Structure 1
Amino acid sequence: MTVSLFDQFESPLFLGIPLMAVALVLPWALLPKPCSRWISGRYLTLQNWFISRFTHQIFQPISHPGHKWALLFASLMLFLITVNMLGLLPYTYTPTTQLSVNMGFAIPLWLATVIIGMRNQPSLSLAHLLPEGTPTPLIPVLIIIETISLFIRPLALGVRLTANLTAGHLLLQLISLAAFVLLPIMTATAFLTWSLLVLLTLLEIAVAMIQAYVFVLLLSLYLQENV
């Protein structure tokens, strides 16, 4: 039986039950919760520092009404980072390699920003569909293009996160398989391949964090246009 490299992206089953829900819920148990004591641990202090710096950087250019999204964006950022990082461990599953999961995050949040813009400032939101100073013959074409680009935003969000994580996991599996096959044949080459695997793993850790940040950053830019 030939095993495909893409089998690692299938949702694991236990007694016929998909473990997708467990993979999505379990990372929250690893995050410390604030306590009523005056003295907190180092991990909780680091987490609070990260949340404060992240919210300050993301919401600095956004007007005051958009600051209501701070808790949602900070939670989404921590969730995506935790899920992406845990997916790099052996015998684990990364839910964010599934386009359906990422689109489930992207579409409702993007649609919420659009609805807020159309409700609070419809004239300004519709003005984004037509740049100022456009020649009259180009107006219908530009409106169609801008409308398509507006509706393609959630697809771009989901595909970007899925493609980057999927490509990284495939590279890790291919290089680890090459190191395993070369070990009894060409030991020196196998150790060089293993060194490359370690460097690629460090790169994937950075990619897991950066892609979570990019996902939330683009959502904040969409929110900035509509508040």
Structure 2
Amino acid sequence: MALSFFDQFMSPTLLGFPLMALALSLPWTLYPAPTTRWLNNRLLTLQGWFINRFTQQLLLPLNPGGHKWALILTSLMLFLFTLNMLGLLPYTFTPTTQLSLNLGLAVPLWLATVLVGLRNQPTAALGHLLPEGTPAPLIPILIVIETISLFIRPLALGVRLTANLTAGHLLIQLIATAAFVLLPLMPTVGILTATLLFLLTLLEIAVAMIQAYVFVLLLSLYLQENV
């Protein structure tokens, strides 16, 4: 039976039970918990340094009111980063290639930023829908356009993450299939294809890290407009 390249993005099941919950809970078991000792080991020290630096850079442009989101944004960054990286291992499943999961993360967090803006500064939040100095005939059109752009933000967050990871995984599988087919027939071309596959894998590792950072960075920018 011929299998489709898109079968790798199907939610895995075992004996009829979905394994999505296991894939989502696995990242949190891989990070070591801080100890009660005065001095941690090198791994914990490096992990704490990375988290502190990332949180500092993320909250740098935010007002003090947005610093309450530090734990949520940092945890989301680590969660997405680990899911994306684990999905590059053989015989694994990448939950972030599912649009439903990405929208399930993007919509509630985006809505929370909007509600925070409406609660703290309703005039400024509603003022984003109409730029200052707009001519009177264009006011209804601009309000509709800005409203649509506001509601399309979570969709753009989810689709961006899904599309980048899905395209990378499909390209890796296509080139890997070509390398296996060409290696016995044309060894030189097969070796060149395998070299291209290695370089593409490095690029996909960078994409997995960058897309997790971009997802959280855009959320922080949305939060910056509302605090």
- Mark yes or no: TM-score above 0.5: yes
Whole-Å separation in 2 of the counterparts to 1:42 and 1:155: 40
Q: In the alignment, what sits opposite 1:219? A: 219
- Pairs within 5 Å for 1:1-227: 1-227=1-227
Shift of 1:162: 0.1
CA deviations on 1:12-47 (whole Å, 9 max, x unpaired) are 110111111111101111011111011212221111
Secondary structure in structure 1 of the residue aligned to 2:38:
coil
Deviation for aligned residue 1:199: 0.4
| Runs of at least 5 residues in structure 1 that lack an aligned partner in the other structure | none
- Cα displacement (A) at 1:61: 1.1
Matches of 1:222 and 1:4, distance apart in 2: 38
Displacement of 1:102: 0.2
Whole-angstrom distance in 2 between the partners of 1:182 and 1:39: 53
Unaligned runs of 5+ in 2: none
Runs of 4+ in 1 over 4 A off after TM superposition: none
Q: What do you get for the CA RMSD once the two structures are aligned? A: 0.6
TM-score normalised to structure 1 length:
0.99
Alignment size in residue pairs: 227
Deviations 1:117-144, CA, capped at 9 Å, x for gaps: 0011100000000001111100000000
TM-superposed CA distance for 1:103, in Å, is 0.3
Percent identity between the aligned chains? 74
Amino acid at match of 2:177: L
